Structure 1
Amino acid sequence: MAFVKSGWLLRQSTILRRWKKNWFDLWSDGHLLFYDDQQRHDIEDKVHMRVHCINIRVGNECRDFQPPEGKPRDCLLQIVCRDGKTINLCAESADDCLAWKIALQDARTNAGYVGSEVMYDETAISSAPPPYTAYATPSPEVYGYEQYNGAYPPPGPQVIYASNGQAYAVPYQYPYQGPYGQPAANHVIIRERYRDNDGDLALENSPGFPKY
């Protein structure tokens, strides 16, 4: 945001109707601020031209107040606000008064500034790629399980097949941290093959039988 116009103006007080010299800044957002001095330490008042101002008068249009001593009426400038408030001003010269009128009138009617210096290009925004991938994430049913309000059931036991084709259930080997608690452990029972010949078993256990 930048200054549109700055400079000294005489302002008439609202109570004693005395003229006082103030420094004025007209900003590009339509705000008109005036200070005690050029250092801008203390703001005396401000007005938003597009919001509060309804009319700008100059010269002979300013009929309800008189210019300060030694100044012609062509230097007079008046800002009329919606609430009935008026700001009576006097410029250094008629040309300066005209320049202020043009700047204030543009600030009152210009709608190009919308409250931010960053202007967005709607075309660029509409053509921008989506923030997420175009491919939808597969539903949990694709992987063989259903949704449980954002959490999945605890892992079950694993099934392992022995060399003889018999299946055994092996419990999950890692601690589960989910909301369903620790899964129940499964006992593994390993059965030896049944020997049909008791004599062979006794022969293998005899002291004289060779061990390979």
Structure 2
Amino acid sequence: MASLVTDKDDVILLKAGWIFRQKPLFKKWKRSWMVVSLGGNLKCFAKKRSSRPQTTFNLKLDLVSFKQGAQCRTLLPPPEVPTTCLIEMYFTGDRKLSLCAHDMDSAALWIQAITKAQSDKALPTPKYSRKNRTKEDALKEESQEQNKRQQKL
């Protein structure tokens, strides 16, 4: 798995894999590594091992609608890929993302992951462990404990 830069909402990955993405300028299909997280983010990477995404889309806030398969009438898929593998997503701000899976089964999995990421409620933020505490947090906790002790006396 790639070493990903994750936010607190991107802890659980729903789908990660290679998919064709159509470039907006020349309409050329390019293979990209994409990650859909339960937090609602869709991240596009140039390589599988990239640590920073090229683009990130927030599916919960920005996704207006999406089409799949035969509904994508203006798209032509890459060579030797059926039109049933097409996915077209429309975002706020007149942004559009055109994707094409390698086969019908993976297209169904991508669509399932996108709909789950869009509709699912955000997970509660996990409590930090002692290893992740900063010095400021430790000092705050110590001062709170001292205040409690003083109040008891």
Q: Same fold (TM over 0.5)?
A: yes
Unmatched 5+ residue regions in structure 1? 119-130, 138-212
Tell me whether 1:29 sits opposite 2:39 in the alignment: yes
Aligned equivalents of 2:152, 2:16: Cα separation in 1: 57
Q: Do the aligned partners of residues 117 and 84 (structure 1) sit closer, same or farther apart at CA in structure 2, a change above 3 Å counting?
A: farther
Aligned equivalents of 1:30, 1:117: Cα separation in 2: 17
Give every structure 1 segment of 4 or more consecutive aligned residues whose post-TM-superposition deviation is greater than 3 Å: none
Does structure 1 conserve the Cα–Cα contact (< 8 Å) formed by 2:36 and 2:43? yes
Aligned to 1:99: 109
Displacement of 1:69 in angstroms is: 1.5
Q: AA paired with 2:42? A: L
Does structure 1 conserve the Cα–Cα contact (< 8 Å) formed by 2:21 and 2:32? yes
Deviation sequence 1:118-164 (CA, Å, 0-9, x none): 5xxxxxxxxxxxx969x999xxxxxxxxxxxxxxxxxxxxxxxxxxx
Q: AA paired with 2:95? A: K
Which structure has the greater CA radius of gyration? 1
Tell me whether 1:62 sits opposite 2:75 in the alignment: no
Higher RCO (CA < 8 A, seq sep 6+): 2
Unmatched 5+ residue regions in structure 2? 1-10, 128-146
- The TM-score with structure 2 as length reference comes to 0.72
Deviation sequence 1:33-60 (CA, Å, 0-9, x none): 1111110245221101001111121101
Alignment of 1:1-212 (within 5 A): 1-113=11-123, 116-118=125-127
- The TM-score with structure 1 as length reference comes to 0.53
Does structure 1 conserve the Cα–Cα contact (< 8 Å) formed by 2:65 and 2:90? yes
Does structure 2 conserve the Cα–Cα contact (< 8 Å) formed by 1:56 and 1:105? no
**Whose helix proportion is higher, 1 or 2?**
2
Q: AA paired with 1:64? A: T
Output the aligned Cα RMSD: 2.1
- Count matched residues: 123
Q: Do the aligned partners of residues 37 and 136 (structure 1) sit closer, same or farther apart at CA in structure 2, a change above 3 Å counting?
A: closer
